Structures are given as structure tokens and as C-alpha cells.
Structure 1
């Protein structure tokens, strides 16, 4: 019989009278890869914090290797071999890779002087644990996301980890980087290390996990071996509703119809070269490719953030010149960034202000004062239209879930009467229910005549949403897929065979 490493039994936790966890139990066996799934607000993060000793449960108990705790302190969890890798990785960005890896061991030795030779040796041994090679002298802030994650995993394993909890570990990773992460998780399993993989990406849950526990509204709704589940079943238990995953069928375009967007021989030195495509009314155009393919740089050129060096851009048949973001906005081009927290929202400002900030010039009264009643009316209409879950539009936008925050960014651009919206990773960090709602709204907007472009690594998302997909590699469009060609396996094969 396989031995249980961790068991949480009948855990309750409330905040200000609101149940975050209600009678939740979970078991993780030694060497098991266990997935904890659920939408935002389901209780996943609270349960992680209880296991890590950050939050004290109101009732219940935690059993680690047959030792019973009514609550843990963080140092207890670490001594028991529990390591948590949070979404931000909790690294020191202004320190090098070596310093981040060796810091704990240097502190434990309490030496007055640092032995840099010892720091290097410690860091090298840490990276050997997962068989990767990184520049030890490089500052962590300059690393790509995938390499930051490798540093965090190596550091966790240095602490004699027996259970590694990974909180949404693939949010900002490409498909190839996800595959590398999964190989590392499997190698950890071979050493007897358990993994609690916390995610709401269904395909990844099915690919990596052995057992699955699903939370909804603070309660465990189901658990079982992963073979007992498929995406439809997981979605139902996570959301409590049946969610559509039908592919998007675009309208047939007439022979004389002008495209909403036409790009001809667009180039930007060092990023992309000779890009040509059209986008018609009723279509959703997808763009995918490996990291460094030039897809994001193309989007930023169309939005005027990094203007192209040469080529032509036409909107509704009219040639336009984009040399700045202001040029793009004047011509009805909008951009929803992947990093909505730092690039897309004013986090401490209200939901309403985040929506109408893009149209301040058009709602001014005499003396340059804002027509607040008109602004609030526009915001309220869009909140309703996009199903933004906001009981009070004056609440700071930072209080909303990821899915609702993304709707706010979209609402802002819709308020500007944009002709084309480019979305980079439109559902990154968004739970499955909100993800489906956002993608369905984009299809609806496309049918109403708005130009929609989606840049994404999420292949199921592209297949479900796009009527045409461009695959970019090394700054060029190498394939155009449409109709029956738009299949997950076909896209994965193309990306996996790129050098």
C-alpha cells in the first residue's frame, strides 16, 4: 500500500465570517503528482497557505508523515519538507542566479564573510538536481520567466523538499517550456518527491496529474484518479455548469468585401520581416509561435508602441500611418496586453474609471471638466454588457478576479469604438468559466463587425476561437491554417518541429 505523505482533514477557514474553506480534506501520497483545480475564489490559495503554515485553520488537522498538527508555522512546514513555489517565484530580482540559490545555505552557516567559491559550488549542485544549465552570474530580473521558475524549483529541492507545491506554474510559459517543466516534475517523482500542481488549465491537469481534487466555493466537490475525468467533466465540477467548447464558424465573406485590416510587406528590423495578411469582418484571427517568433513585436508595431520600419497598413481599405500609440488609437486600433496588472490597469483606481479613462476627451464639459454622469453611464452599460461581476463600480479594480479584470480592460477599448482589438494572451491567469465567457464575447464582437486578433500559446483556445491561424517563426509567417486544418494536433506538430 502506497504511503500517504500529507493529509489535511476537515479543514475550515473563514475570513470576516466568509467561508474560504469548508470541511476540506485532501491526501497526497509519497511521490504522487496530485492536481488541485478550481476557479479563482474556489479556495485553492487558502488551502495552499494552510499547508504552508501561512494561515491557521479554524478547525481540522494536518498530518505529515504521521505527525499531527492542528496548525503549522511556516518553519514547521519547511522542516517537514514542504516547499511552495508561488506564481511570482519569490526570488530576489537584484541578485544573481548563484546568490538566489546559495542565500539560504550562507545564512544558515552564519559566516561574517561570504565565500564566493562556496556560493558557486552550492548553486551548481542546485541546478544539477534538475539537470539544467544557467548562467550563474546573470541577474534574476533579466531571466525569462521559464528560467526564473527553474531557479525557484532548484532552490526548493535544495531544502530537502518532500512535497513541492506549484501555484499556477505554467501561466506565462510556452508549450515547449511547459513540456520541459513536466519532465522536471517527472524526474522529481522518480526521486520520491510529491508534487501538488495547482492549476485551472485543463489539458495540463490531464497531462501531468495522477490524482485530481476539485474545489468550488470553498468546498471539495470531487476527487479521483485522473483517468476518471475529461475536460468536460472537470469544467462542470469547477464551474457548476455545462460550458460550450464549440469551434468558431466565421461568416462567408463576399468577393468585393474590403478587409477590416490589411497588412502588406510589414517589417521591423530584427523582429519580423515581410508580413502579409488580411482580417475580414466576422473573423477571429489567431497568431501563435514559439518565444521569439516576432508575434508580440508585430502586435506592438500595429499598436504603434514599436512602429514598423517599412510596409503598409490599411484599415477598412484606407492606408494609415502608425508612428505612435496615438496614431493607432486615432485609427481605431486597440491593444489588450498580456500583463494586465502592470500594463493594462490602474489597480488602485475604480472599475468605472478604468473603463472610461480612454474616452476622457470625448466626455468633457465646459472648462474641461469631466461629465461624470455620462462617464458613469457608459461604464455601467459596459459592466452589464460584459457581465463584469462588480456590485459597486466604485470599488478598486484590484479587488476583482483575473477574469473580471480582463473584462474591464476589454470594456475600456470597447468604449473607444475601436475598429480592431488585438489581444495578447487574452485569458492568461483567467479561470475556465471566465475564459469561456470572454472567448464567446470575442466571437460575438467579431460577428458584429469588430476586428479581432488573438495572440496566444494556448492551442485549445486558438482552436475554439479562431477562424484562421497564422504560425510565426523567426519573424516570418510560415503557415496559415483555416477550416479543417485548425486542429490541436496539427498546430502542436508544427510548433514541436520548429528549431
Structure 2
């Protein structure tokens, strides 16, 4: 059978970097093909070549047995290739219909915009996907899952027979991810070929038929999913066997030493009142469904959302949470959910990002920065968290997701933070980088740093946390620890008692 898509001997270089070396891949109609690899392995570069964003130096793209020559993104769309990026490309203030047909609106015989025709076509697309989405609602008011389905509908409206899904479940709840998989199974029946990029092993074995593993710009493994195992794929991805993803359990918390005591915290006049204690050397998990209030409480703790009422003590002394700078002064730092938009200035160097909100430390007698001192301290902090970069002058945008996350951690270590809030710390990073982040978090607690970790991944919560606060509809529904801490108990409270 002729493959729907063949990538043959693809190579691509950037100045000083060999991004891809002789990579080949086949995708059949009605197949879900997993593309695995660590951040920086070359997956995104290969897919950008497939979608016409980059042009290969060597090799060819073959669709239905015919060689294609893409000079831009539109050429790939015309050839029936659609890509759903991890960061959506929807216009927030437009509705689903306008987003699907943006730039190629239907016209009637008079040349006027045919809104009725576009609505009818959008309804047919959603019926094909078996989803119900309000057609006249602005995108900004829809759930992340609905936005994901609109992106898929938009690709199908272009008659896409090849879909690239880049980390499509990164911002979905487990139930939303399951529904996405049901849509993918329906598309598989309709002979659509899909390339699926994910760092979640359980997803690979749930939905994928075939898997290709990349490392350092080369294809290192290719097989049917049924003939391999998660451990085998992880070893081929990272070039070594990851014996234990999570560090050996050792509770570093001193339960007689309360670092952060939230006696009463209210973010909204009509909202719930939170109370929590965080002990020295403890990892306290915030679990719950997306939108359950976990990040909102974190924003309140650093003063990004100013509480309407707060009685909070830091090491026994009352503190005010008026502004992030105030929280930082008291030793509270946040690694935000989106490191690229909230945590880093991507074109800046590692040095600039690490010292960004601590420049007073490097100011001399005159109002100039002591660059030598700044670079030296940045290099020491990068070494302490094992950032893999040529030098402190390397632009952060050139680093993998895991190393970008480590740069944010290095910044807060430069402030000697006593409390660090990690919001989805391993989202979008590979399994090798995850194990390094986990080990680093345990090292920090051993040094007396206290951590609040917000995570939607239950294995991560269970593998790292000493205690877990479970959120439901903006409230803390339960605090779990010891033998009461399990995936079943977390989901029971996170769903309001609806899940066993």
C-alpha cells in the first residue's frame, strides 16, 4: 500500500546547528503515528518542514506517491496538510464560524459575505466531529477543549487529509482528552492520517498505531506501538534507562516549623476563604480540574491578584500581599504556568532573564550594571540547576523547554526564596527533563525550601507531594496525606464526589 505521506531523507541545518540528519517517516491513511523525542530532538523542525514553514536542505516530501515542493505554509494547506499548534492560532474576539473561514469567507452570487452558508458548513464540520459548540460565541468565552475542536474543524474545512497535532492534550482535563481521542478515532475511520506529538506515554499507547522516536536530530527507532513498551521508548528517547522517574521518597518537611501560614485569604468578596499551612522542606500539592481555583490562589499568594482580605504569616510574622514585588521581598517566588509568556523574555539571554528582577544586586556606585559580576552569578546559578546552555549569553529562546524552566528556577534561587510556587512545572517538557526537574525540587526541599506544586498530572502529584490540597469549584475540598493520598481519593474530591 502506498503511504499517504512519506518524508524521505530530510536534513536541515541552521547556523551552527544540524537540526535534522537523514530523517525518513511514513504515514498511512487512517493511522495515528506518534512522534516522540526530547525537547530539541528535531520533532518541531521536521513538522515545520512538512507544513511549509521551513524548507529542507535535503530530502523530499511525497504525498500519494507524488513529490511535493512546498515554498510556504499555503502550499502545505493546498496539499491537504493541517497542523494544530500547541499555541492556538484563533482570534479571541471572533466566533467559531469567523475563525474557521477567516481570510477565505464564502461569498454569494452578489459577492457579499455568505454568513448563512458558513454557519451551515461549520455545523456540518462539528457534526462530522460529533461535538456541539456554540457558533456565535466569542472564542475567548469558550473552554480550551472547545478551542481545540475548532482548530481541528478549521483544518478539516481545508480538506486536510493529514493532521499534525502538537501536544494537543497539554491544556485539557482527562475527560476532555478522552473526548479528543474519540474524535481522533472517528477521523481514523474517515481515512485521515494523523501525526501525534506528546510527552505522555499513556496517551501514546491509548491512541497511536505506530511510533517514531527521534534523538539529536536523527530517527533512532521506528515500530508498531503494540510491539514496544514505555520503558523501551523512554530509553531510546533519552539514550539511557531512566530507572526511577521520581526521586526515592524522602519527606524533608519539618512539621514543627510552619513557613507560610494562611489563616484567612479571600480573593473575591463573594468567594471562599482559604486557610493552609506550608511547612519547611515540604512539597504541598494543589490538585484539581482545570479552572478549579488552584492558579487563582497562587496568584493571590504572590499579590498578582490582590486579596480583598488576607491574614497571612511568613515565619511567624504577618505579611501583606499587595504586589508581586512585596511577595518576593518576603521570599515567595512563582514559576508560572506559561514560562514563555509569563516567566521569560525569550529574546533575552540566560543572564538577563536570571537577573531581570534583581538588578539592584549588580548596581555599582554609578547607575551601571556590573556585567562581570552579573555573568559570574548567572553562571553559578545555571550550574546549580544544571542548565544545558553554551554560556550565560545564550538566548533563552534557543533552549529546550526543560532548560527554559531551569532558567526560571535559577532566577528565584538568586533571590534566596523560601517558598517557591511551581505552576504546572513539567508541562510540555520531555521525560528526561521531567526527571531532572523532579530531582531538583527534592534537592531544594532538602535545603529547606518549601514548595507548592500545582499539577494536573496525578502521577506527578502522587510521586512528589507530602500533602495534597484538592480544589473543587474554587474551594479546597480536602487535604490528603499518607494512606489517604491516592489517585482515587484525589479524583473523588476534585469532581465533587462524582468519581470513585
TM-score (norm 2): 0.91
1:489 is displaced (CA, Å) by: 5.4
Alpha-carbon spacing, 1:111–1:386, altered in 2? closer, same or farther (3 Å): farther
* Superposition deviation, residue 134 in structure 1: 2.4
Q: How does 1:202-241 map to 2 (within 5 A)?
A: 202-241=201-240
**Residue in 2 that maps onto 1:10:** 9
Residue 249 of structure 1 is matched in structure 2 by 249
- Greater Cα offset, 182-191 or 411-420: 182-191
Identify which range, 72-81 or 391-400, moves more after superposition: 72-81
Q: CA deviation at 1:467?
A: 1.8
Is 2:299 the counterpart of 1:294? Answer: no
Tell me the CA shift for residue 247 of structure 1: 5.2
What's the offset of the Cα at 1:72?
7.5
1:124-160 deviations in whole A, cap 9, x for unaligned? 2222221222232333345443222111101111222
Matches within 5 A, 1:232-381: 232-243=231-242, 244-246=244-246, 249-251=249-251, 257-269=256-268, 273-381=272-380
Deviation at 1:181, TM superposition (A): 1.5
Displacement of 1:94: 4.5
Distance 1:119 1:498, change over 3 A: farther
Residue matched to 1:387:
386
- Match of 1:358, SS? coil
1:471-490 deviations in Å (ceiling 9; x for gaps)? 10012222323234444455
Contact 1:98 1:136 in 2 (8 A): yes
Query: Structure 1, residues 92-125: CA drift from partner, whole Å, max 9, x if none?
Result: 3443321112336526889732122223222222
Q: Give the equivalent residue in structure 2 for 1:423.
A: 422
SS of 2:357's partner is helix
Q: Which residue of 1 aligns with 2:405?
A: 406
**Mapped partners of 1:153, 1:24: distance in 2:** 27
The root-mean-square deviation of aligned C-alpha atoms, in Å, is 2.6
After alignment, is 340-349 or 297-306 more displaced?
A: 340-349
Q: Distance in 2 between matches of 1:184 and 1:490?
A: 29
Which residue number corresponds to residue 472 of structure 1?
Answer: 471
Structure-to-structure mapping, 1:455-466, within 5 angstroms: 455-466=454-465
Conserved? CA contact 2:254–2:282, under 8 Å: no
Please state whether the residue corresponding to 1:422 is helix, strand or coil: strand
1:253 and 1:119, CA in 2 relative to 1: closer, same or farther beyond 3 A?
closer
The 3 A distance-change label for structure 1 pair 254 and 290 is closer
**Does 89-98 or 163-172 show the bigger shift?**
89-98
1:431-470 to structure 2, matched below 5 A, reads 431-470=430-469
How far apart are residue 390 of structure 1 and its match?
2.0
Separation in 2, partners of 1:110, 1:463: 61
**2:163 alignment partner, SS class:** strand
> How do 1:124-139 and structure 2 match up within 5 A?
124-139=123-138
Q: Distance in 2 between matches of 1:382 and 1:335?
A: 17
Answer yes or no: is 1:88 the counterpart of 2:87. Answer: yes
> Matched residues in 1 for 2:346 and 2:75: separation?
35
Please state how far the C-alpha of 1:373 moved relative to its aligned partner: 2.9
Kept after mapping to 2: 8 A contact 1:275/1:477:
yes
Task: Point out where structure 1 has 5 or more consecutive residues left out of the alignment.
Answer: none
The more displaced of 284-293 and 357-366 is 357-366
For each residue in 1:353-377, what CA deviation from the matched residue of structure 2 results, as whole angstroms up to 9, or x when unmatched? 2111222223332244333333222
TM-aligned CA deviation for residue 496 of structure 1: 5.8
Matched position secondary structure for 2:432: helix
The aligned residue for residue 170 of structure 1 is: 169
Assess, with a 3 A threshold, how the Cα gap between structure 1 residues 130 and 483 changes in structure 2: closer, same or farther: same
**Change over 3 Å in CA distance of 1:287–1:370 after alignment to 2:** same
Which stretch shifts more, 440-449 or 370-379? 370-379
- The match for 1:103 is 102
1:497 and 1:29 map into 2 onto residues whose CA distance is 43
Q: CA deviation at 1:287?
A: 0.5
Q: Cα offset for 1:311?
A: 4.5
Out of 93-102 and 443-452, give the one that drifted further. 93-102
CA contact (8 A) 1:334 1:422 kept: yes
Q: Bigger CA drift: 268-277 or 238-247?
A: 268-277
The answer to whether residue 376 in structure 2 is matched with residue 397 in structure 1 is no
Where in structure 2 are there 5+ consecutive unaligned residues? none
Asked if 2 retains the 8 angstrom alpha-carbon contact of 1:210 and 1:226, the reply is yes
Deviates more, 1:127-136 or 1:219-228: 127-136
**1:308-354 residue CA offsets vs partner (Å, 9 max, x unmatched):** 33352222222322222232112111111111222112223221121
Contact 2:36–2:212 (CA under 8 A) maintained in structure 1: yes
CA distance in 2, matches of 1:134, 1:150: 9
CA contact (8 A) 1:272 1:294 kept: no
Residue aligning to 1:45? 44
Cα separation, 2, equivalents of 1:17 and 1:367: 38
Aligned to 1:78: 77
User: Do the aligned partners of 2:477 and 2:493 also contact (CA within 8 Å) in 1?
Assistant: no
Contact 2:472 2:496 in 1 (8 A): no
| TM-superposed deviation, 1:15 | 3.0
User: Number of aligned pairs?
Assistant: 497
Q: What is the aligned partner in structure 1 of residue 30 from structure 2?
A: 31
CA distance in 1, matches of 2:216, 2:303: 42
